[in-house]
Structure 1
Amino acid sequence: MGRGTGPGDPGSAAARSRLWARLDAAVRGLAAPPSTPLLVVDLDAVDANAADLERRAGGTPLRLASKSVRVPALMRRALARDGFHGVLAYTLAEALWLEEHEVADDLLVAYPTVDRAALGELVVSPRAAARVTLMVDDVAHLDVVDSVRSSRAVPVRVAIDVDAGLQVGGRHVGPKRSPLRDAAGVLALAREVVARPGFTLVGAMTYEGQVAGVPDDVPTARARSLAVRRLKSASVAQLGERRRAVRDALVDLVGPDGLELWNAGGSGSVEASAADPVVTEVAAGSGLLVPTLFDHYRSFEPRPAAFFGLPVTRRPSPDVATVHGGGLVASGAAGADRLPTPWAPPGLRLTGLEGAGEVQTPLVGPSAPMLAIGDLVWFRHAKSGELFEHARTVHLLSGDRFVEEVETYRGLGLAF
């Protein structure tokens, strides 16, 4: 956790013990025993994290990354703040649902889509088409849109996804996203968009995942962290030049008022992304809830806000406590950093042999002997929104009591 080591550090043993007491008091206050996994979001931490994101953005609007939240009530809470506007959706079907249910009226789909059913809904709805912007990086994406409509009477808004990886020594460092890496390639696609009836070019996106999504202050990996920070610095400098070149080419094509938006960054790169004058908005989502993959960044102090509780169901030996379930493993390259982390009470860890299991997870460590059958152990997920695919509802914590139980996408019957 971060750089703090004192009792005020959210990762300290004292803070985690206090959290355990808060959660225990809140559970005891429920009218009926909860089902597990019991998902909890600490609103106090969410609000503090949101304020910190706004501070880091320095006035640049924050676009809420829905993939990292997946709970409409929490999305509405963030969007009600002055520093947040609009949603960065992860599928068109999701964007259409959020638009229909008035969660947001400005939705940018972060990834190209070939979902013909969802596109069919978009092209017959003037209201949705005016509120939703599609992402493209290939003429084929335009062809798919044209294949589902009989008329171009409803214009479709599009933004161009521009590769934001670091180009060094003939290698590409960063997420494998757009094939468009220079102004010439972007301009060729932009000309096609402008020339085609039924499309409106409104902006661009550059997601520098090698800056926004890689920890750079890991206490157990000092040398690697130093190398990551150097890579990030080089990426920011190179990307700034590329953005300016692409922006200038697009402005020559559509005019200075033709580009409504330039989306960039993520929770781990808010300051660097917002500092670029080309960028008009910065994406953020994980920074609200702070999963374990966001624990070790120099740019901010993490305040964990999302937890899930599992009950102790057996004691195989005096030094082992086994909880039911637990195998909520995050996506990405397989590794220990994708496993959930036993968090409260402090002093627990997964075993090397079983890890986090589908139906049981044995825990060891100094706190294991004090746990009794029926006690809840609280975990943190490695990634933010993925946690909420595992339960129908989330309990919202304020102080030491639950103030509301709200539905996740899964609880609403949604699977995007």
Structure 2
Amino acid sequence: MTAKDQGRTLGERLDAATRHLPAPLAVVDLDALEANASDLVRRAGGVPVRVASKSVRVRAVLEKVLSRPGFHGVMAYSVREASWLVAHGVDDVLVGYPSVDVAALQELAADPRAAQAVTVMVDDVAHVDLVARAAAEAGRSLHVCVDVDASLRPGIGPFRAHLGTRRSPVHTPADAAALARVVATRAGVELRGLMFYEAQVAGLPDTSPAVRLVKRASVADLARRRTAVLRAVEDAVGHEVPLVNSGGSGSIEVSARDRAVTEVTAGSGLFVPTLFDHYRSFTPRPAAFFGLDVVRRPAPGFATVHGGGYVASGPATRSRLPRPVAPDGLRLTSREGAGEVQTPLQGPGARGLEIGDRVWFRHAKAGEVMERFDAVHLVRGDMVVTTVPTYRGEQRAFG
């Protein structure tokens, strides 16, 4: 970014860069993206960083990040996406979620290059059997990774709590060893790794002492349990497990310190959506924005933009709504929020808005907003460097 750009507000830079482009439109600030990527590598402390594709959903951006030292491999969110990425040159893809898409598993097994590059997630005997059948039909082996529940479960018996996401039923070393033994008995299925995603650490901002207490307790629990699970699994299958994946954008540095961990995953830390604004572990540099144009001035102190109903997944709370960030002094209305076709805004900043002016927003979650756009404009300073297709622009929807 030049000295001239540093003197401009965010809105002024993005307005200048995209003045010739119609809205709605999505942009990624390359300076912020690259700074965030460097920060993720620094926090990982030499442990390879796998890129979570669901938090990006732009193949050109994935390729740009993967070309940087410190990054290796993609965590995909579906088997079809994984095979597609391999076809476009990605040589190591871990599917982060189990799949029951039989046709996709069959296509994966039938492609020798994809079968070698992709590791499929399992946490149930039923998953293992689906993978084994696909492998048997193709006469080829497929790699699997066991998803180990990383939630914190304090208490005893009926008084035990569950702090974290509801992911895998595999929680204890005994659970993991039992599933690993099943994998070892299935022809054509090879156990490659273990994954521990501590959502209650990586996905929660540091907004209160209670949250920070849960995080500390979770980190201590996982430091013990990851090693115990790994040992139990390796004893069960009789060989080393080469891949132990953990972490997320909010917990990279603590996951990377565990000697059992061979790689960490991050994605949201590249774009830094609003849900990542209150972490103590890193300085947020928002990199992804979308712009909407003012089409109405319904009353003094109000301005209405076209579109905007890009609500993030998760609990239906205000935190999942997009946030206007430029110009300053704008907020959603409490009655209408972000609308499918129009979004009214109010606040001091609304008084200066005219018909045709552009308002810039940030999404609550990374990646999801890219499902709304065919293309994203990569901006440096006050210029569009290039425009690239999103997954949607490449006619790919992996759901």
Alignment correspondent of 1:248: 231
Structure 1: which amino acid aligns with 2:377?
A: H
- The 2-side partners of 1:146 and 1:47 are apart by 41
- The 2-side partners of 1:117 and 1:101 are apart by 20
Give the alignment's TM-score, normalised by structure 1: 0.91
- The 2-side partners of 1:254 and 1:37 are apart by 53
Alignment correspondent of 1:26: 17
Contact 2:135–2:142 (CA under 8 A) maintained in structure 1: no
Q: Cα deviations across residues 239-260 of structure 1 (Å, max 9, x unaligned)?
A: 111111111112223456x312
Q: Does 1:60 align with 2:47?
A: yes
Q: Does 1:111 align with 2:111?
A: no
Structure 2: which amino acid aligns with 1:135?
A: M
- The 1-side partners of 2:138 and 2:325 are apart by 54
- The 1-side partners of 2:52 and 2:222 are apart by 21
Alignment correspondent of 1:212: 202
Q: Does 1:189 align with 2:188?
A: no
Q: Cα deviations across residues 144-165 of structure 1 (Å, max 9, x unaligned)?
A: 2234455462101001010100
Q: Cα deviations across residues 63-91 of structure 1 (Å, max 9, x unaligned)?
A: 00000000000000100011100000000
Contact 2:53–2:74 (CA under 8 A) maintained in structure 1: yes
Alignment correspondent of 1:284: 266
Counterparts of residues 375-390 of structure 1 (less than 5 Å): 375-390=357-372
Alignment counterpart, residue 315 of structure 2, candidates 326, 330, 333: 333
How much is the aligned-residue C-alpha RMSD, in angstroms? 1.5
Alignment correspondent of 2:119: 133
Structure 1: which amino acid aligns with 2:93?
A: L
1:271 aligns to what SS in structure 2? helix
Deviation (angstroms), 1:318: 2.3
Give the alignment's TM-score, normalised by structure 2: 0.95
Contact 1:312–1:371 (CA under 8 A) maintained in structure 2: yes
Structure 1: which amino acid aligns with 2:144?
A: V
Contact 1:23–1:400 (CA under 8 A) maintained in structure 2: yes
Structure 2: which amino acid aligns with 1:186?
A: A
- Give 5+ residue unaligned stretches, structure 2: none
Alignment correspondent of 1:122: 108
2:394 aligns to what SS in structure 1? coil
Contact 2:106–2:138 (CA under 8 A) maintained in structure 1: no
Deviation (angstroms), 1:123: 1.4
Alignment correspondent of 2:81: 94
Q: Does 1:176 align with 2:166?
A: yes
Alignment correspondent of 2:335: 353
Q: Cα deviations across residues 248-296 of structure 1 (Å, max 9, x unaligned)?
A: 112223456x312100010000111111111111100000000000000
Which range moved further: 148-157 or 318-327?
A: 148-157
Alignment counterpart, residue 69 of structure 1, candidates 45, 56, 59: 56
- The 1-side partners of 2:134 and 2:226 are apart by 33
1:109 aligns to what SS in structure 2? strand
Structure 1: which amino acid aligns with 2:291?
A: G
- Give 5+ residue unaligned stretches, structure 1: 1-13, 219-224
Counterparts of residues 180-329 of structure 1 (less than 5 Å): 180-216=170-206, 218=207, 225-255=208-238, 258-329=240-311
2:337 aligns to what SS in structure 1? coil
Structure 1: which amino acid aligns with 2:233?
A: L
- The 2-side partners of 1:311 and 1:342 are apart by 12
Deviation (angstroms), 1:226: 0.9
Q: Cα deviations across residues 180-216 of structure 1 (Å, max 9, x unaligned)?
A: 1111111111011112110111110000000000011
Contact 2:132–2:186 (CA under 8 A) maintained in structure 1: no
Contact 1:180–1:186 (CA under 8 A) maintained in structure 2: yes
Q: Does 1:42 align with 2:24?
A: no
- The 2-side partners of 1:16 and 1:192 are apart by 61
Structure 2: which amino acid aligns with 1:76?
A: E
Deviation (angstroms), 1:371: 0.7
Q: How many residues align?
A: 390
